[in-house]
Amino acid sequence: MGLLVGCGTGSGALSNGDADSVSLPRSSATVDARTPGPVPATPTPAATPTPQPTVSPTAPEMTSASATVEAEPNPTSPPGSSVNDAAATVPDPPTGINPVRIRIAAIGVDAAVIPLDIRGEPEVPEDFAEVGWYQQTRLPGEIGPAVVAGHIDSRDGPAVFIRLDQLTAGDEVEVEADDGETRTFVVTDWGQYAKTALPPEVFGFGDPLPELRLITCGGTFDSGSGHYRDNFVVYASDMSYQS
């Protein structure tokens, strides 16, 4: 009997300077108030000197520094953008679903999904026709991997994931929620690993997409332990989500 056991977890987020001084324009007056008028060379005592008119320089009309200094754009923001605009463009993270059924048309799978616990010795479905979702992983549809597992066979013959190794890139996996909502994932890769040496990417985060991992047994059967030595893993992603 081949059971899915021994699945290990992988080990595996402007400061402005001082304002520039403003130089005010020089006076445009052509007469300097400090320059005295012409003085007669030989004034006579009887003569009353004609006083020179006092000319006050006309100060140029001055504008306030705030009116003449243009604000510079924030170098960290693109033209026409604002903090509110930037916040409005950040998409909400996708929400996951509570899985109750899985369908993989390419290999004839249409099975119930039950919750499993991965802590300690990972649980496996008691029913060989069912698939289990590890509740400590992501909900299907959330960013990151949702991990589901199923048997490859039993004493009575083939089990739910007997043909898992026949999936190829582009095959679709549908996961249905308890409210009828369905999420579709597309197969992107697969691999076979010793149960004692599962790579981090099996349970760890990959691309910033909703992801799905399908796991079953693989490799040779160890008659001494009654288990397969390896796990076969299929990687799938929800390509419809744009981050």
Position 181, amino acid: E
**42 CB-side CA count, 13 A:** 0
pLDDT score recorded for residue 52: 53
pTM above 0.75, yes or no: no
Res 13: pLDDT? 33
- What's 30's DSSP letter? S
Q: How many CA atoms lie within 13 A of 37 on its CB side?
A: 9
Number of CB atoms found within 10 A of residue 214's CB: 25
Q: Which residues pair with 157 in a beta bridge?
A: 154
| CA dihedral sign of residues 36, 38, 44, 47 | negative
pLDDT score of 17: 37
Whose structure tokens read 């616990």? 117
Q: Where are the domains of the chain?
A: 99-237
Q: Beta-carbon neighbour count of residue 195 at 10 Å?
A: 18
What does the pLDDT read at residue 48? 52
Cβ atoms of 215 and 8 within 8 Å: the answer is no
DSSP element (H, E) containing 158: strand 157-158
Superfamily of domain 99-237: Sortase (2.40.260.10)
Q: pLDDT per position in the chain (243 positions), as tens?
A: 333 444 433 333 333 333 333 333 333 333 343 444 444 444 555 555 555 544 444 444 444 444 444 545 555 555 555 555 555 566 788 899 999 999 999 999 999 999 999 998 889 999 999 999 999 999 999 999 999 999 999 999 999 999 999 999 999 999 999 999 999 999 999 999 999 899 998 998 878 899 999 999 999 999 898 899 999 999 999 988 866
Quote the CA–CA distance of 130 and 116 in Å, as a whole number: 11
Residue 20: per-residue pLDDT: 37
Whole-number Cα distances in Å, 41 to 38, 49, 67, 97, 135: 9, 11, 51, 107, 111
Q: Which of 10, 3, 1 is nearest to 213 (CA)?
A: 10
**Beta-carbon contacts of residue 187 (< 8 Å; ≥ 6 apart):** 167, 168, 169, 170, 171, 172, 173, 234, 235, 236
Q: 3-class SS at 171?
A: coil
Instruction: Give the single-character DSSP code of 214.
Output: E
CB 132 within 8 A of CB 149: yes
CB 159 within 8 A of CB 126: no
Phi, psi (rounded to 5 degrees) for 193: -140, 150
